[in-house]
Amino acid sequence: MELLAVEAAGRGMPVLAAEEAGGPEAGPAAGSAHWYGGPVAGERLAERLGFALLEPTDDWLAELPEEFTGRDVRSATLADAWALDRPAFVKPPRDKSFPAAVYADGSRLPTGLDPATPVLLSEVVTFAAEYRLFLLDGRIATASRYAVFGRLDPRPLDGDPAAAEIAGFVDRLAAAAGPTLPSAVVLDVGQLLDPYRPGHRWAVVEANMAWFSHAYAADPVRVLDVVLRAAGPREHVRPQDLRFVRHPERPEHPGQ
Is 27 or 241 the better-scoring residue by pLDDT? 241
User: What is the CATH architecture of 125-231?
Assistant: 2-Layer Sandwich (3.30)
Q: What global pTM score does this model have? A: 0.90
Q: Residue 86: phi, psi to the nearest 5? A: -145, 165
pLDDT tens-place string over residues 43-98: 999 989 999 999 999 999 999 999 999 999 999 999 999 999 999 999 998 777 89
Nearest alpha carbon to residue 147 among 61, 214, 228, 80: 214
Q: Where are the domains of the chain?
A: 2-55, 72-122, 125-231
Average pLDDT estimate for 127-148: 97
Average pLDDT estimate for 116-142: 96
Residue 253: predicted pLDDT: 36
Residue 32 CA: distances (Å) to CA of 17, 187, 195, 236? 15, 27, 50, 10
Question: In this structure, are residues 36 and 209 in contact, taking their beta carbons and an 8 Å threshold?
Answer: no
pLDDT of 134 higher than 60: yes
pLDDT of 255 higher than 70: no
Question: In this structure, are residues 117 and 97 in contact, taking their beta carbons and an 8 Å threshold?
Answer: yes
75: which strand partners? 120
pLDDT tens-place string over residues 200-211: 899 999 999 999
